Amino acid sequence: MGTSTESSVSSPDHPTPTASVGGGSIGGTQATTVTGWPNKKEFYTLHDSIGVGATATVYKAFCTPRNEWCAIKCINLEKCQTSVDELSHEIQAMSLCAHPNVVNYNTSFVVGEELWVVMRLLNCGSMLDILKRKMKLLGKEAAQNGVLDEVTIATVLKEVLKGLDYFHSSGQIHRDIKAGNILLADDGTVQVADFGVSGWLAANVGDLSRQKVRHTFVGTPCWMAPEVMEQVSGYDFKADIWSFGILAIELATGTAPYHKYPPMKVLMLTLQNDPPSLDTNSERKDQYKAYGKSFRHVIKDCLQKDPSKRPTASELLKYSFFKKAKDKKYLVNSLIENLGTLPPSNSHHVPKKVTSGKLKKDKDGNWEFELDSPSNSDSESDDAEKTKTEPPKPEKESNGAPHVFDENATMNLVLRVRNHARELNDIKFDFTPSADTVDGIAHELVTAELIEGQDLVVVAANLRKLIEQAAKNSDKRSVTFGLNSALAANEVPDERSLTGFAQISLID
């Protein structure tokens, strides 16, 4: 089936030699080659793989004549189940697309057993990549309440809708809308990618009067519309609207509904259950309470089992939720430059209680963190605005007696630091100088997701400083220090309120 022939996909105005693939011809499609993009392998150098599918791999590549980076999708024609005719349609769809929210097609040509499709490189990766990084930076506990904030989600989804509206008004459907196929450039541009399963609805571009429903079973099960699964009466562009609704859930929760199940189970749950919602992924009540009615309204309307009841992309753009959307610069700030920071809290003006808990060893010598009971926590904690940096009061008064240091004695300490929700936490722990190490304690605080990884060294250093002060029988019972971890977008460093700072205190 393979051939060593190399040829660009031909243009109707500027015919090029056809490339024979498995008895078919890739040439003769309506594809066009952007002026200045070469169509031979030797002009490109493949670098890192930035995406892998069943039959194709996308590489970061460098085009030597243009001195420019690009992305090249290498489709294995022997493994690919897509017919030559369908590949021609794919190339046609890509070459005719000219929209800011659709990945730019440059050229394509055959190299041995592969079809190389040259596209614009969006070097910040996919929204799936960004979701994974954001969840890792937030930590498991914080991410469970939501990954991206509503403003960021509205901004991304609005750009996706613009691309979908363009597709649908041109008589196309994408059929695989998901976070992994939404790409982000370093200037904040959002583009819909991966035309591997796209297809024509109309015989002629824009001729929606000649629409045909599709019967091909394509897409990813978790994002797949019920009518695509059923294969009964076919489907149209409203299938993309269902996938868009699943994408909205994915950006908020980090995963698509039913993502833990095998494909056939996903099909059964999608067809038998009520449509999924924002709370389908939740493990506890009010887990996603941060997301409001306007966002949930978008999800509900998109995930109607009856396709005729789903809004079009152009209708969705008029929904009130998308009034929250910002510009590309906002995405540069929230998803590229400050990916590790948290969105401004809607309730930052409300005084927060200091949450108290204990980092302790179990019977096997493993460290574990246990929150104090609500009653104890309330009685022991102070209002964050009132406590400022006042260290926790000693559990026992010294009555002026000197503190005698004993390296075999257990010391009771507390680390006061703001958590992911920007609330003050009192983390109590024991420290025996002869048995424990400051690095070990700091590592356990990171493992328990009580402090950020970038704060490990500074916490260990200041814990050591406090221990050394105690060894000298110093009267100083606490140390306050700056953190390396990023602040939230609405915060400025403030030692008095421990914003960007933390405090370790000896409490007996």
Annotated binding-site members for ATP: 73
- Determine how β-strand 424-431 pairs with β-strand 355-361: parallel
SS3 category, 368: strand
Backbone angles phi, psi at 248, to 5 degrees: -60, -45
CB atoms within 10 A of CB 121: 23
- Concatenate the DSSP letters of all residues of 94-127 into one string: HHH---TTBPPEEEEEEETTEEEEEE---TT-BH
Q: Give, in order, the Cα–Cα distances in Å from 77 to each of 34, 57, 68, 90, 228.
A: 23, 12, 27, 14, 25
Angle of helix 293-302 relative to helix 238-253, nearest 10 degrees, comes to 140
- Concatenate the DSSP letters of all residues of 135-193 into one string: HHHH-HHHHTT-SS-HHHHHHHHHHHHHHHHHHHHTTEE-S--SGGGEEE-TTS-EEE-
Is residue 426 flagged as an active site residue?
no
CB atoms within 10 A of CB 382: 16
* Sheet-wide strand order for 44-52: 44-52, 56-63, 68-76, 114-119, 105-111
For the chain, how many helices (H) and strands (E)? 14, 17
Rounded to whole angstroms, the Cα distance separating 431 from 441 reads 8
What's the angle, vertex CA 26, arms to CA 24 and CA 31, rounded to 5? 155
Rounded to whole angstroms, the Cα distance separating 467 from 477 reads 10
Active-site option among 48, 85, 165, 176: 176
CB 252 within 8 A of CB 288: yes
Distance of CA 227 to the CA centre of its chain: 28
Instruction: Using CB atoms within 10 Å of the CB of residue 318, give its burial: 0 to 12 exposed, 13 to 18 middle, 19+ buried.
Output: exposed
Report the run of H or E that residue 413 belongs to, with start and end: strand 411-418
From 180, 216, 175, select the one nearest 198 (Cα to Cα).
175
Kindly state the DSSP code that residue 393 receives in the 8-state scheme: P
Kindly state the DSSP code that residue 403 receives in the 8-state scheme: P
What's the angle, vertex CA 9, arms to CA 4 and CA 10, rounded to 5? 125
Q: Tokens in use for 310?
A: 């789903």
Catalytic residues: 176
